[in-house]
């Protein structure tokens, strides 16, 4: 093994280990710690995106694979709509929380597996009507090769839904960017106060390695689009907006400033 390959493997393992560690720490209060996923602005986007995915799928009992399903942000919504779900996550603790939330009547439509997505896409032999992932890609060491393998798990006409990923930002106007940063700071200060009042630990430095792709500014949707097209995927929808801890600053930044830090993408296998 050359030195570079050994270094590469060490980094890969470190990122996986950090993701296990951080998500074990936050599993019990995951969505309380992430109001940016549950505020009114994001919830409206989530519901509209779910409607779009389900309309593309047509079949109300589709087989859906949720990668990095966590405590069930997408998983529980899709299960409630009648689909058959397979959830994969490397955090046992996150899956334990999800398991408690699955309604008894839906248990026969739910399968959970503790595994890294990189290993899962290599070893699982099934095909799915849809693969969904929310806030996962920025945790991966090499998301591009994983996305390529994910495309191979879709049956013809199958959908890939990439949701709530940090977007590599382009700064066009310094005034707008200053306002954008000002709102972000205010939003974050209120969040810190709320977490302190609710006695929820902030985990300030913990994400350094687990959110690996943030080191490079997030995910570049243009690279992803290119990659998907080369995998014979038709792009159905790309949505970019500004996510914030709270709904009002997110709405203000998105609608009035027009700034963007998050994207969603829906693609379909030809
Ligand atoms: C930010 S959380 C998002 C969870 C859920 N999808 C949601 O939107 O609420 C990221 C999830 O991905 C999982 N994860 C991180 N790296 C992973 C990997 N390589 N394989 C599988 N799961 C991973 C974490 O354990 C965590 O549950």
- Structure confidence at residue 58 (pLDDT): 92
Average pLDDT value over all residues in the chain: 95
With a cut of 90, say whether residue 105 has pLDDT above it: yes
- State the distance from the centre of ligand 1 to the C-alpha of 135, rounded, in angstroms: 7
d(CA 100, CA 106): 12
d(CA 5, CA 2): 5
Nearest CA to ligand 1 atom 10: 136
- Structure confidence at residue 6 (pLDDT): 85
Per residue in 135-169, pLDDT (tens digit) is 999 999 999 999 999 999 999 999 999 999 999 87
Average confidence (pLDDT) over 123-145: 97
* CB-CB contact of 113 with 88 (8 Å): yes
Helix H or strand E segment including 43: helix 40-57
- State the distance from the centre of ligand 1 to the C-alpha of 27, rounded, in angstroms: 11
With a cut of 60, say whether residue 18 has pLDDT above it: yes
Burial class (CB within 10 angstroms; exposed 0-12, middle 13-18, buried 19+) of 129: buried
Q: Is the CB of 166 under 6 A from ligand 1?
A: no
Q: Which of 59, 71, 86, 83 shows the shortest CA–CA distance to 27?
A: 71
Query: Domains plus CATH for the chain?
Result: 3-170+204-243+260-269 (3.40.50.150)
3-state secondary structure of 74: coil
Q: Which of 182, 189, 191 shows the shortest CA–CA distance to 253?
A: 182
- Structure confidence at residue 1 (pLDDT): 55
**Ligand 1 pocket check: which of 92, 139, 161, 207 to mutate, most ligand atoms within 8 Å of Cβ?**
139
- Structure confidence at residue 173 (pLDDT): 75
Per residue in 33-74, pLDDT (tens digit) is 999 999 999 999 999 999 999 999 999 999 999 999 999 999
Write down the residue that tokens 């400033």 correspond to: 257
Angle between helices 221-230 and 143-151 (to 10 degrees): 40
Average confidence (pLDDT) over 169-192: 88
Is the overall model pTM greater than 0.85, yes or no?
yes
């Amino acid at each position: 093994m050359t030195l570079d390959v050994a270094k590469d493997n060490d980094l890969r393992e470190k990122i996986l280990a950090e993701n296990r560690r951080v998500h074990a720490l936050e599993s019990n209060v995951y969505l309380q710690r992430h109001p940016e996923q549950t505020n009114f602005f994001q919830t409206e986007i989530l519901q509209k995106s779910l409607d779009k995915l389900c309309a593309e799928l047509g079949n109300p009992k589709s087989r859906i694979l949720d990668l990095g399903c966590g405590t069930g942000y997408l998983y529980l919504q899709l299960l409630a709509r009648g689909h058959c779900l397979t959830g994969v996550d490397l955090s046992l603790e996150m899956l334990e929380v999800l398991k408690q939330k699955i309604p008894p009547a839906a248990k026969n439509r739910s399968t959970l597996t503790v595994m890294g997505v990189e290993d899962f896409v290599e070893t699982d032999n099934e095909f799915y009507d849809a693969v969904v992932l929310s806030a996962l890609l920025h945790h991966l060491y090499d998301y591009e090769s994983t996305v390529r393998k994910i495309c191979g798990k879709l049956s013809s006409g199958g959908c890939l839904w990439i949701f709530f990923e940090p977007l590599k930002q382009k700064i066009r106007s310094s005034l707008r960017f200053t306002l954008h940063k000002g709102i972000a700071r205010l939003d974050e200060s209120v969040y810190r106060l709320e977490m302190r009042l609710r006695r929820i630990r902030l985990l300030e430095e913990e994400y350094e390695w687990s959110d690996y792709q943030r080191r490079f500014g997030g995910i570049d949707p243009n690279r992803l689009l290119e990659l998907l097209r080369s995998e014979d995927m038709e792009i159905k929808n790309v949505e970019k907006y500004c996510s914030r801890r709270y709904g009002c600053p997110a709405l203000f930044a998105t609608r009035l400033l027009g700034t963007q830090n998050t994207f969603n993408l829906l693609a379909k296998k030809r």
